[in-house]
Amino acid sequence: MFARFETRFAWIKTLLLLPLVGLAIGMTAFFIFDWINPFPPQQLNKAFSQLVVDRNGKPLRAFADSNGVWRYPTTLAKVSPLYIDALINYEDRRFWQHKGVNTLSMLRAIFQWLYYGKPVSGGSTISMQVARILEPHQRSIRGKLWQILRTTQLEWHLNKEEILTLYLNYAPYGGPVEGIEAATFTYLGKSAKYLTHAEAALMAVLPQRPSALRPDRFPQRAELARNKVLKRLSDFSVWSTKAVEQAFDEPVVAMFHSRPLDAPLLSRMLVGQNKDKPLINSTIDKDIQILVADEIKEYLYRFSENTSASALLLENQSMNVLAYVGAADFGNPLRHGHVDMNRAIRSPGSTLKPFIFGMALDEGLIHSQSLLQDVPLTFDDYAPENFTKNYSGAVSAEHALQQSLNLPAVQLLKEIEPVNFAEKLEGAGLKLFLPGDHKPSLSIALGGAGIRLVDLAGAYRALARDGIAGQPRFLKSTPLIEKHLLSKEAAWITANMLSKVPLEASQTSPFFKRHKRWLAHKTGTSYGYRDAWMAAVSRDYTLIVWVGKPDGTPSPGEFGRRTAGPLVNRILNVLPNQFTEQPEKPENVVAKSICWPMGKAEQLTEKKHCHEKKTAWTIDHVTPSTLTTANFNRKNPITIQINQQGERVFQDCVQGVTTTVKVALWPPRVEHWLPKNFRASSLLPPLSSLCRHKERLSENLVIVGVKHDSRISLPPSHDKSLELSLSVLGGYGEITWLLNGELVEKSSGDQKIQLGNFKQGENRIVVLSQNGQMGELSFYLH
């Protein structure tokens, strides 16, 4: 009997151990299977699209994955809680409690399938749907069992938040669209973070039958399905009755938004630099980007079809780029819409001149009203000309910069030295591109180098930010990089000089003044009319605009003020008024009364030497003397000897007692443009007859070939324009010829020239020698 009891006990023990053994074997088999067939895989083969978004998360441009699928990455925190409510309560109410499979729902679904002979209701949980999305299978019993196994693996390795995040990113929404973020942008034009109750319900039901319920194609079907979700949420008291009723009243209005294509060239660059990032957070403001791009595209209709334009808008404090338009019409081959002109190397024209003047201020060479020479000058073998070929004589630094006069800028660059100038620019982030191994020369003042618009923007920012240039930032994650370019005083004075020129006639209107719009701006035109520029700076923003032909062909008659200026004005008119606030003046920038021709402060200048007063902005009250040049290197005022008759004499031709007096003279090369009372012949006493052979100051040149004040009449039968054969007496070296204020010819010594193109009425001819001598006459043509 005892043996029989032991036998029975052994059977009972065996029966009790069998489940445990089975469980152990099952778990061992599961672990082995999971080890051999891991799930989910470490690297999902469903790569995200690359999406570039603006600073507020709005999409700028999307790049589909290799299969052409649009899938934007998101997280639980970036999705509206309303959507999570609708999804969980409609699809899987016990999601947070079950271990991947809802047994009751599964049994109900199987029973209905067997009874009706086809699937009637779904028994899949969200976890099971994720398993099927990541590894699709056939709709069969075998397929369902495989799905359950994969779901078990999913639940073993991931927590509920991670599983739900996979659903948010990979759920199908019709066509090539996957994931809630791509779906809401595609159908609703907004992020999943900002869904209404009605929109959340619609997005929750759409993955059930994504093609059949697409709201852009079948809005009535989509509305019926959405209403089922709303009813269930109301029945379960998930949302209030009022919220659900309002959602019922909201119509389904959706359209299939084509993939976003704002800031396309910048987006292309950022994706190329961040190939492993599915989501790229840029600094662009999409609303501003669209405004600027639209203005450029509309403005360019009046230009030839192969013309393009680009613009960059910079937030000065952060160096964030708010708008980046690299081409006027992206994708248009006629306008070279694939070429990013913001990064192309182009000639800057005169846009570098403000930095020449700023550095001259810092080096103590000038103040804002320093006298500069706008006259034909030759610097070694370099003979620049003004854009208009007209000259003004004596001009202030402020006037020279405002009118973009070439000769004064080159005069200053020679003092600064081109190599030093280029090194300072490059140190601040503005690289100059020169051909071959060429070194910087005086020509860079007028565009004789290459630059990139994006670098130019970082340098112009210095004019409004205490002389500190910066590197434009395209990504939020990019650190702020700033470099010193000018002192804050030089930056403010330079910007102030540039602000006094109206952008166009409207800037002087009562409207412009009423809104207190302040803007410092500079134009530029490259040689051959290939590039038209305008740079505009306010306290908080920098805007650079370029117009031209990407292939480098000329655009005759198109220059900075005429071509780029109106575009800048159009862009500013669609931006808020705070884009044109004025920077604060540094304390040690002081207004001083100064005197021409010497350039010093009025209080430091004898009254008789102060021929003309001006109010200048100075740094720490310093007023530099007027710059000397090769033809004006004497000290001013000069000291001369006077005999008892009041005549000018020299040491070796004097008789009797003499006295000395000081006379302030103007630079000889500007005499042609001076009133007669400011010319040396009026300021100096007459020369003693005993000393005329010793004259060391400039004598007048004599023009030979036509008489002063003569009148020339052409007979009616004369079918050719007048041509005169002219030469100069008394000069040597290079002679510059001006006709009616415009440079027309250059000669050497007494060489004869042929001069024509005279106008009816008075014609004025002026000759200037390289050592400062001048001659002039007028004649009349009838």
235, burial (CB in 10 Å: exposed 0-12, middle 13-18, buried 19+): exposed
What does the alpha-carbon distance between residue 549 and residue 552 come to, in Å, rounded to a whole number? 6
Is the separation of the CB atoms in 76 and 95 below 8 Å? no
Q: Which two tokens stand for residue 375?
A: 């006259």
Q: Which residues are catalytic?
A: 91, 350
What is the C-alpha end-to-end distance of the chain, expressed in Å? Answer: 154
Q: Which of 158, 159, 161 is nearest to 76 (CA)?
A: 161
Rounded to the nearest 5 degrees, what angle is found at the Cα of 601, between the Cα atoms of 659 and 666?
Answer: 55
From the CB of residue 238, how many other CB atoms can be counted at a distance below 10 Å?
A: 18
What does the alpha-carbon distance between residue 231 and residue 241 come to, in Å, rounded to a whole number? 10
Which residues are 313's β-sheet partners?
323, 543
Alpha-carbon distances of 721 from 10, 310, 442, 710, 718, rounded to whole Å:
134, 45, 38, 17, 8
Query: Which strand (E) or helix (H) includes residue 529?
Result: none
Strands 541-548 and 308-315, by their bridges, are antiparallel
Which residues are 62's β-sheet partners?
51
Name the DSSP letter for residue 206. Answer: G
Rounded to the nearest 5 degrees, what angle is found at the Cα of 206, between the Cα atoms of 200 and 212?
Answer: 145
What does the alpha-carbon distance between residue 612 and residue 356 come to, in Å, rounded to a whole number? 26
Name the DSSP letter for residue 627. Answer: P
DSSP reduced 3-state for 592: strand
Chain center to CA of 38: 49
For the chain, give the longest Cα–Cα distance.
166
Chain center to CA of 383: 33
- Which residues contact residue 498 at a Cβ distance below 8 angstroms, ignoring those fewer than 6 apart? 354, 401, 402, 463, 520, 521, 522, 537
What does the alpha-carbon distance between residue 661 and residue 320 come to, in Å, rounded to a whole number? 61
Alpha helices in 556-671 (DSSP H): 565-573
Q: What is the DSSP string of 383-446?
A: ----TTSB--EEEEHHHHHHTT-HHHHHHHHHHH-HHHHHHHHHHTT-PPB-STTPPP-GGGGG
Alpha-carbon distances of 753 from 700, 734, 771, rounded to whole Å:
19, 13, 20
Q: Amino acid identity, residue 59?
A: P
Q: Amino acid identity, residue 405?
A: L
3-state secondary structure string, 667-708? CHHHHHHCCHHHCHHHHCCCECHHHHHHCCCCCCCEEECCCC
Residue that the structure tokens 């690297």 belong to: 43
Is the separation of the CB atoms in 172 and 206 below 8 Å? no
From the CB of residue 135, how many other CB atoms can be counted at a distance below 10 Å?
A: 16
- Which residues contact residue 703 at a Cβ distance below 8 angstroms, ignoring those fewer than 6 apart? 726, 727, 728, 765, 767, 775, 776, 777
What does the alpha-carbon distance between residue 586 and residue 574 come to, in Å, rounded to a whole number? 31
Query: 166 — phi, psi (to 5°)?
Result: -60, -40
Is the separation of the CB atoms in 322 and 289 below 8 Å? yes
What does the alpha-carbon distance between residue 77 and residue 683 come to, in Å, rounded to a whole number? 82
Q: Which of 626, 627, 630 is nearest to 380 (CA)?
A: 630
